[in-house]
Amino acid sequence: MSSTKINSLIEHEQFYHHYQPLYNLTNGYRIGYEVLFRSIFFKNPEIPFQIARKANRLYELETKSIHKAIFSYCAAGYATKDAKLFINVFPSTITNPTFSIFMNKILTETQLKSQQIIFEINETEVVPMT
């Protein structure tokens, strides 16, 4: 996929999410949902992130995906006071200096609390220690 196509994917948000329920196996209660990134252009959800990384647009794709996932989750009525939302994220996204500002803005625009969002670190990216 060319950089033009990845640019279109990012700028026009040509992706969506599935929400996989997660359960506590001890008591059978649903504890939340895992966000699963999907696009009609790719069967493998890892490919657009690889292409975005090569095009130096990984942070943009990931933050747009997180934003859309959280707002879709809330709009669908999945958010309850105890439900958790599990989101995969790359280390470079979390360490980006603007990420905390981005997340604070989302939290002020939704009814979610910071304790409800669980970031799962994607292990396919190596970030040098500074």
List, for residues 84-101, the tens digit of each pLDDT value: 999 999 999 999 999 999
Is it the case that residue 130 has pLDDT exceeding 80? no
Cα(84)–Cα(117) distance, rounded to whole angstroms?
6
Q: Break the chain into its structural domains and give their ranges.
A: 3-121
Percent of the chain with pLDDT over 90: 75
**pLDDT for res 4:** 79
Average pLDDT over the chain reads: 91
Position 76 confidence tier, pLDDT thresholds 50, 70, 90:
confident
Q: For the segment 15-60, what is each residue's pLDDT rounded down to a tens digit?
A: 999 999 999 999 999 999 999 999 988 899 999 999 999 999 999 9
Which residues, listed in sequence order, are joined to residue 87 by a DSSP beta bridge? 119
Q: Is 3.20.20.450 the CATH number for 3-121?
A: yes
Cα(38)–Cα(36) distance, rounded to whole angstroms?
6
Specify the pTM: 0.91
